[in-house]
């Protein structure tokens, strides 16, 4: 089941954003700002997903618990076809959906870190995230 859930996460992250230039009233700067943010979130999400895929000790339960992140707006839909993800938009889907995936994956990684570390403090876990993923991802998803 973890494999199916990770495949659903990968498909969700890989979908096109649906960014519509008409929503920006001709402001190229605003459009490109959102576009670049969407690309960055996609890179972050793929890196976090790869980390989870490579760690067998990150369990399906930890991953499922991570769906409480981002106000629970990213949810798992299970049916006869398998597992899919559903996202409830807050304001604008294109700028949010990959952020939700990052938040879920980071929450699962955080749970994994806490389960492996008996006396770790939040600052030490953040330092670990900075070493493992770099300053940008650590500051965006492990704060």
Say if pTM beats, i.e. exceeds, 0.85: yes
| Per-residue pLDDT tens digits for 103-136 | 999 999 999 988 876 557 888 899 999 999 999 9
Identify the domain containing residue 64 by its residue range: 2-141
Torsion sign (Cα): 44, 47, 51, 53: positive
What's the number of domains the chain is made of? Answer: 1
Q: Are 42 and 13 in contact (CB under 8 A)?
A: yes
CA 26 to mean position of chain CA atoms? 30
Q: Are 45 and 101 in contact (CB under 8 A)?
A: yes
Least confident of 34-38, 124-128, 137-141: 124-128
The whole-angstrom separation of Cα 9 and Cα 13 is: 6
């Amino acid at each position: 089941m973890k494999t199916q859930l990770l495949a659903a996460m990968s498909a969700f992250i890989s979908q096109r954003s649906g960014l519509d230039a008409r929503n920006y009233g001709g402001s190229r700067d605003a459009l490109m700002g959102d576009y670049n943010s969407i690309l960055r979130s996609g890179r972050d999400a793929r890196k976090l997903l790869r980390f989870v895929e490579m760690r067998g000790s990150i369990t399906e339960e930890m991953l499922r618990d991570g769906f409480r992140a981002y106000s629970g707006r990213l949810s798992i839909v299970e049916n006869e076809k398998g597992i899919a993800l559903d996202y409830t938009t807050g304001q604008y889907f294109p700028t949010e959906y990959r952020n939700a995936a990052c938040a879920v994956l980071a929450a699962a990684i955080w749970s994994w870190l806490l389960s492996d570390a008996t006396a770790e403090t939040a600052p030490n876990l953040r330092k670990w995230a900075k070493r493992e993923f770099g300053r940008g991802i650590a500051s965006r998803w492990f704060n």
